Amino acid sequence: MNPYTTESLIKQLSGFSSHLQKVNGIHIHYVMGGSGEPLLLLPGWPQTWWSYHKIMPLLAEKYTVIAVDLRGMGDSDKPEGGYSKKNMADDIVELVAALGYDRVHMAGHDIGANVAYSFAVNHPENIDKLILLDTPPPDENMYRLPMLPVGTPVYPWWVAFNQLNDLPAQLLEGRFGLLLDHLFDKLLINKKGISDFDRSVYLQHYNHNENIRAANAWYQTFGQDIVEHKSSSKIKNPTMGIASSANYDILDNFLSHNVHEHEMMEIKDCGHFLQEESPEQIARAISDFLN
């Protein structure tokens, strides 16, 4: 049996099970376990629900944990369109309803943070507390990102690269491991946070044309996301930002302008992949905030 499939991975997480749910015209995959108030975990690029596997058992002691593969990710469907974060948030609100919940807590990392923020903006009645991990949603500041590295802690060249149609898949199909290793090697501070096994889990999904195309679409809709963001109301729900030192000020600044009240936590000696590099600290921070 392939050790990197969800069927195999789920055996490593006692008390969790894998599901598919039809929502908003597509099938969304999620992994669920624990008991208590519902907590949705939304992953980012270039990862899947597995990015939360270290903190899921810890959080499941107090919460019903639901780790979701977003539209275009992992075992979820990869349609041609629908990748604006507002529409992806609609996927999640329909999933919440299908699971029988009126309100949920939600944490999102990277692209997942973009979707979680859009969920809170567009469906405030369906969310209790919001947590953004290391990533602010796209706003007009994104147009000011440098084309060349200028000594900033992170040079996000992939934001521009992923805007291209077809070329990323043509270059990377069957060779996505080159990009995957580059990103993890550059963005991890705790190099052991993401193992070779974890990399193989992600590579299995992102090494194929349709998966690369779908992931690019998350970035190609940033312009639409920015336009929709300009007309958004400030979030009134309790909100927390948890960030690495490199991204702390960026996330804090975004939340200061777009949330009525928020709190921040800096995770030192940690890179972008917080929940894998410092899982116990992240799980404790999430649990303390929700309590």
* Four-residue CA torsion sign, 77, 132, 11, 198: positive
SS3 32: strand
**pLDDT tens figures, 181-208:** 999 999 999 999 999 999 999 999 999 9
pTM for the full model?
0.97
Within 10 A of 266 (CB to CB), how many other CB atoms are there? 15
What mean pLDDT comes out for the span 206-232? 96
**pLDDT tens figures, 86-118:** 999 999 999 999 999 999 999 999 999 999 999
Q: What type of residue is 282?
A: I
The residue assigned the tokens 């060249």 is: 157
Give me the helices (H) in the chain, please: 6-9, 56-59, 85-98, 111-122, 158-161, 167-172, 176-187, 196-206, 209-220, 222-230, 248-258, 274-277, 279-290
Query: What CA–CA distance (Å, rounded) separates 93 from 99?
Result: 10
Percent of the chain with pLDDT strictly greater than 70: 99
- Mean pLDDT check: name the lowest of 108-117, 141-150, 166-175, 251-260: 141-150
Q: What is the pLDDT of residue 251?
A: 97
- All domains of the chain in start order, with CATH: 6-290 (3.40.50.1820)
Q: What is the pLDDT of residue 148?
A: 86
Query: What CA–CA distance (Å, rounded) separates 173 from 62?
Result: 41
* R_g (Cα) of the chain, nearest Å: 17
**Of 238, 237, 240, 247, nearest in space to 265 by CA:** 240
Band (pLDDT 50/70/90 cuts) for residue 153 is low
Q: What is the pLDDT of residue 146?
A: 84
Decide: 165 and 156 in contact? Cβ < 8 Å. no
